[in-house]
Amino acid sequence: MQKYHLSLQYFRERLAHYDALPQLVILGLLSGIMTGLLMVLFRLAVELPLTYWLGQPDDFEGLSSLEHFMWPVIGSGVLIVIFYLWPAAAKQVGMVNLFERLSYYQGSIPGKSLVLQFASGTVALVSGHSVGREGPSIFLGAACSSLLGQQLRLPNNSLRLLIGCGAAAAISAAFNTPLAGVIFAMEVILLEYTLIGFTPVIVAAVSADLVMRSIIGHENVFDVPLFKIGTLAEIPWVMLLGVVVGLCAAAFNHTMLQAYKLAKWPVGVRFLLAGVLTGAAAIVYPQIMGVGYDTISEALWGRLELQLLLGLLLAKLLITPFILGLGIPAGLIGPTLFIGAIIGSIFGIVGGWFSDMTVSHIGLYAMLGMGAMMGAVLNAPLAALVALLELTGNPNIIFPGMIAVVISNLTVRYFFNLPSIFLSSLQAQGLDYRQEPIAQALSRAAVASLMDRSFITTDHLINFASAEALLVGKPHWILLQEPDQPAKSLMLPNDLQSYLARDEQLEPINLLEIPAERFDIITLSFRATLYEALQKMNDQHINNLCITSNQGEIMGILTRAQIEYYYTHKQTL
């Protein structure tokens, strides 16, 4: 047992360093396996009851008009009960809360939030709310990985990367798109691309996909026909598609942000309103219920009529962001793909009306719309492009996809000055997720990676011989601490050396009274990042901290000069 604890302590201390690649790979593997198993459970929790009631998970169209209305209303009622009965501390779920936990809580996510997200996300999806399952999946993967780090008491810099691993694993398992999961985690969650960060995230994504394939089997999310762009004469039409998708993405974001203003309403009122709106719209357009993957597949094959497409676009574009803004605990990635596919199908049909332009398969434009909408709403163009490639398995999609995705992103960012919907939602709540370069660099390593372990502990009353013995090992710090008592202060050995060099010394020597510069003991856990240490130094106007272990014992001393040296010389590792 002692050997196990020593190995775990070494594992923790290595993870404090930014370049602890072998340890990070192990964490990525554990994160991927755990997230993959959790995604299997979540998928079964949603699909089994729907298959029992509907025959197949997405076949809400077969319900009667009364059932179309009542299902979302009943689902809202169940959610109201859950949120009223659950402890207040656990009433934070979803992607916005995930970013908040990353930015303000060093990636620490409570276990109760994971359970609540699983239960509430399942209810929202099973009851036919117009939402997606990817958002809850990402939160579940991130929370599962965060809990892994918390249980192992790992440094906080590892928790941040673990959340990226969990998010990548969740996307990979949800869509069978491991590469898109990796890019999504780096582009949307971590907001940075680093060589060290890529490896564990890739391991997590691949292992989660392997777990899902081993248990559920490999099945394409969408039924995608083979297609490619016909002629370069279609490029202007693709560019216009990007502009229109960008406008719709801006409308999506704006509607969701306006709905956030109703956050002060009681949860019962908000959820009931969401259920009534969804149910009323579902009476006319039942295709908007649930994740809608079956409707997306129909759009990809060009089997939907223009009138239906226009109605679905209007209903989905108005209902989904509004109910998400009201707080329904589910995702928006699936709905963005749905809306994008509908817009693309409309373009494919309308483009066929012009005699001077031969339009490629309608499915091509539906797929381009999906990527453009996802990229614009999430401000993740690269993740959207990679998702297009992995979902279609067709490299011919990349050229027109790049055009549509880039133009839709430019439309949202340049004309409407909107960041991703997640960052916009955080800002609407008075929060911010953006990090300055110094914060980003210092968050990659923990304080244990820099702390100075060269210190010696002594009583404050000592004799001349003991004082000389303290200096034999040339420590960098002297820690004044009585037996079984908290440490009193720090001092520099040079000050004691100067006192001993005087002609007269009094015995016993009182290290709290001799001429010397002494520092108060301000402690910080070894799990904290260098950025947390710098913030504490700035807040308390100090230049050094004592780093403590999980048991509260002082492990070393960290100075402001060490942090500054790290940032200026080593942060590019």
pLDDT given for residue 44 in this prediction? 93
Alpha carbons 13 and 15: distance in angstroms, whole number: 5
Provide the pLDDT confidence category of residue 572 given band limits of 50, 70 and 90: very low
pLDDT (0 to 100) of residue 506: 66
Query: How distant, in Å, are the alpha carbons of 91, 277, 485, 553 from that of 272?
Result: 17, 9, 58, 52
Mean pLDDT of 252-275: 91
Tell me the pLDDT tens digit for each residue of 375-384. Answer: 999 988 999 9
pLDDT value for 22:
83
Nearest to 225 by CA among 408, 392, 406, 81: 392
Average the pLDDT over 388-404 and give the result: 85
**pLDDT value of position 433:** 62
pLDDT (tens digit per residue) in 293-326: 889 989 988 899 999 999 999 999 999 999 999 9
Measure CA 541 to chain center. Answer: 33
Residues 152-185: tens digit of each pLDDT: 888 888 888 899 999 999 999 888 888 989 999 9
Cα-Cα-Cα-Cα dihedral of 155, 161, 162, 166, to 10°?
170
CA neighbor of 416 nearest in space, from 240, 260, 187, 252: 252
Q: Give me the chain's average pLDDT, please.
A: 86
Q: Where do the structural domains in the chain lie, given as residue ranges?
A: 2-222, 232-428, 442-569
**In this predicted model, what pLDDT tens digit does every residue of 196-235 receive, in sequence order?**
778 899 999 999 999 999 998 877 777 777 777 777 878 8
Cβ within 8 Å of residue 511, ≥6 positions away:
458, 460, 461, 462, 478, 480, 491, 496
Q: What is the pLDDT of residues 426-455, one digit of tens each?
A: 877 776 666 667 777 788 888 888 899 999
Question: What is the value of pTM for the model shown?
Answer: 0.87
Domain pair 2-222 / 442-569, same fold = no
- CATH class, domain 442-569, is alpha beta
When pLDDT is cut at 50, 70 and 90, the band that residue 127 belongs to is very high
Return the structure tokens found at 315: 């209903």
Most confident range, picked from 103-112, 341-350, 425-434, 491-500: 341-350
- The answer to whether residues 61 and 199 touch, using CB atoms and an 8 Å cutoff, is no
> Which H or E element spans position 547?
strand 544-548
Query: Is the pLDDT confidence value at 63 over 70?
Result: yes
Lowest mean pLDDT among 132-141, 276-285, 464-473: 464-473
Q: Closest Cα to residue 134, out of 319, 395, 378?
A: 378
* Beta strand pairing call for 461-462 and 509-510: antiparallel
**Topology adopted by domain 2-222:** Clc chloride channel (1.10.3080)
> Residue 214 class from Cβ within 10 Å (0-12 exposed, 13-18 middle, 19+ buried)?
exposed
- Cα–Cα distance for residue pair 542/522, rounded to 1 Å: 9
Average pLDDT of the residues in 138-146: 94
Which residues, at least 6 apart from 88, have a Cβ–Cβ distance to it below 8 Å? none
Computed on alpha carbons and rounded to an integer, the radius of gyration of the chain in Å comes to 28
β-strands 554-559, 544-548 pairing: antiparallel
**To the nearest whole percent, how much of the chain has pLDDT over 90?**
40
CA distance 452 to 448: 9
Q: Which pLDDT value is given to residue 264?
A: 85
CATH class of 232-428: mainly alpha
Banded model confidence at residue 1, pLDDT cuts 50, 70, 90: low
